[in-house]
Amino acid sequence: MKVNQAEIVMSAVSKAQYPDTHLKEIALAGRSNVGKSSFINTLLGRKNLARTSSKPGKTQTLNFYLIENQFYFVDVPGYGYAKVSKKERAKWGKMIDEYLLEREELEAVVSLVDFRHEPSKEDCQMYQFLKYYDIPVIVVATKADKIPRGKWNKHESMIKKALDFDKEDDFIIFSSVTKQGKEEAWQAIEHYLA
């Protein structure tokens, strides 16, 4: 998809603030700093529409990006960011669960994991949560530019094994630096928008 029009329309902390336009939504979930905002920017061909930061925990609200007046990308706050209070974290958890479990417009979740490392406990929990509730999931392994190609197979196997990956799901090796996987990611997403 070639995107000409993209704008952030809402930063929501509760249901009442979600858009009421009934367009389809694709959510991005993943550990803080994994590259969710960068993924959105890369797909849109924008430098910094979705705020990126080397400081984890930047995105703290559900950010709705309206794309071509056709669908929304929903940037979900990163989990596993340690430097917030337990109370804060519980509040985020509730907000995310509420969105993922109750949002009728949600068509699929792009679950981002870092291609370099063994998935964290939270990465595995997120994937299994989505599988359990039958929410379609596209796994995107980010920061592939940091791994030499000769090691890609090994890393892919390592991640799939840890997630107990369902081979029916999409697994996309991605880099926002080289744009590796951009077309594949769009294809997987467009499948759920059709």
Residue ranges that bind ligand GTP, judged by CB under 6 A:
30, 32-38, 52-54, 56-59, 78, 142-143, 145-146, 175-177
38 binds Mg ion (CB under 5 A): no
Tell me which of 41, 42, 59, 175 binds Mg ion, using CB under 5 A: 59
108 near 189, Cβ under 8 Å? yes
Q: How far is the CB of 11 from ligand GTP (least distance, A)?
A: 12
> Residue 126, class by beta-carbon neighbours within 10 Å (0-12 exposed, 13-18 middle, 19+ buried)?
buried
Q: Could you say which of ligand GTP, Mg ion, none residue 176 binds, taking C-beta under 5 to 8 angstroms by partner kind?
A: ligand GTP
Query: Quick one: 112 or 139, whose CB is closer to Mg ion?
Result: 112
Q: Could you say which of Mg ion, ligand GTP, none residue 34 binds, taking C-beta under 5 to 8 angstroms by partner kind?
A: ligand GTP
- Nearest-10 Cα torsion for 40, 37, 193, 136: 140
Tell me which of 25, 27, 37, 174 binds Mg ion, using CB under 5 A: 37
119 near 163, Cβ under 8 Å? yes
Tell me the DSSP string of 140-182. EEE-GGGS-GGGHHHHHHHHHHHHT--TTSEEEE--TTT-TTH
Q: Which two tokens stand for residue 8?
A: 């952030």
Phi, psi dihedrals of residue 120, rounded to the nearest 5°: -75, 170
Q: Could you say which of Mg ion, ligand GTP, none residue 142 binds, taking C-beta under 5 to 8 angstroms by partner kind?
A: ligand GTP
Query: Quick one: 29 or 172, whose CB is closer to Mg ion?
Result: 29
Contacts to Mg ion by CB under 5 A: 36-37, 59
